[in-house]
């Protein structure tokens, strides 16, 4: 019983902190956009270059890491794959006309 009240208290305390935090975030956003729409007719011409930059950079880094991972995994299978180019698969063995 004691433990149950304890839990409840914790929940309430946590909840009471969370609610205004969420609420204010919501409210601010709504408020901000409303303000923008009020003030600035050029909003269609504004572009969030900052997040574009970050997104682009993340994209670049991810690709780069992917590429590196690919090369590293190649190193492992490299030794067993080696003879492959020497004996092309049947499907690729199309004779070349002379």
- Residues lying near other proteins in the complex (CB under 8 A): 47, 49, 52-53, 55-57, 59-61, 63-64, 66-68, 70-71, 73-74, 81, 84-86, 88-89, 91-98
C-beta separation of 36 from 43 below 8 A? yes
How near is the Cβ of 37 to other proteins at its closest, in Å? 22
How near is the Cβ of 40 to other proteins at its closest, in Å? 16
Contacting residues for 40 by C-beta, under 8 A, at least 6 apart: 46
How near is the Cβ of 75 to other proteins at its closest, in Å? 10
Helix spans in 1-98 (H): 2-39, 49-81
C-beta separation of 43 from 37 below 8 A? yes
Nearer to other proteins, 1 or 66 (CB): 66
Nearer to other proteins, 15 or 83 (CB): 83
């Amino acid at each position: 019983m004691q433990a149950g009240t304890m839990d409840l208290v914790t929940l309430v305390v946590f909840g009471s902190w969370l609610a205004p935090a969420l609420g204010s975030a919501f409210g601010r956003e709504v408020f901000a956009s409303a303000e923008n729409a009020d003030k600035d007719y050029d909003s269609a011409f504004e572009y969030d270059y900052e997040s574009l930059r970050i997104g682009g950079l993340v994209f670049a880094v991810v690709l780069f890491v992917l590429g590196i991972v690919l090369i590293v995994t190649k190193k492992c299978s490299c030794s067993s794959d080696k003879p492959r180019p020497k004996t092309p698969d049947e499907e690729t063995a199309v004779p070349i006309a002379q």
